[in-house]
Amino acid sequence: GLSADNPSFFGNLTTAGSVDYRIPAIELAGATINASYTYDPSANAAPASKGAVAATSVDGDAMTLQIDHESGVSIGGGVETVNDGQGKTLASDTERTTAYVKYSNGPLTVAYQEAYNNVVNATGVEGADQEAEFWGISYTAGDMSFSYGESTLMTKGVSNTAAGAEIELESIQASYTMGAMTLSAALSETANTGGTAGAKYEETQIAVSFAF
């Protein structure tokens, strides 16, 4: 599963042992349209042995839509639902949604995305919802490339439990290619790790790779 600091929760519940269908790409008025539907008979669980489904499993599905325009603008979104409210009083199922917009023009690309995790709720079962936000920018010039990305993850408060500290992830990366050699470096930082105010994690990476 995903770590507590990872805001990329959308789609995570219906990725194992699922059936996925993607429509053939549709070209319309300068836009390319793609869509998908995923069904998972045992959501948030790996496929059981010999295709069996555990008696305690609940099913889930996900739908996505992506539109890429020749102008360089791309938009998309998705909804993922798990039927885990079954048998519970006054229940609402887990539902995850996301939407994004991206623009590319030559060497420059910028993107923004939001996601929301509406956790299962019922009498005596109160889920702490989550909200995530992402944005990034990248630039490529000849043999050099640079990128910067930032994301935040907020866990909402419920009843007498206060909201957690907003987790913020930042990363800056650069690479240079010279012939068969590529030199790359990255600096990443996580603030309020695990939702604990003041906790911090930093990581620096330097790598050299060769292509033959």
Residue 1 confidence (pLDDT): 45
In degrees and rounded to multiples of 5, residue 189 shows phi and psi of -145, 135
Residue 186 confidence (pLDDT): 97
Query: Which is nearest to 47 in space by CA: 13, 17, 20, 14?
Result: 17
Tokens coding 166? 């907003």
The pLDDT profile of the chain, 212 residues, written as one tens digit per residue, is 456 788 998 988 998 888 999 999 999 999 999 999 999 988 877 665 555 555 567 899 999 999 999 999 999 999 999 998 877 777 789 999 999 999 999 999 999 999 999 988 877 777 889 999 999 999 999 999 999 999 999 998 887 778 888 999 999 999 999 989 999 999 999 999 988 888 999 999 999 999 87
pTM: 0.86
Residue 157 confidence (pLDDT): 84
Sign of CA dihedral 107, 204, 155, 97: positive
The b-or-e profile of 87-96 (16+ CB within 10 A means b, else e) is: eeeeeebbbb
Residue 53 confidence (pLDDT): 56
Residue 88 confidence (pLDDT): 77
Tokens coding 14? 């219906």
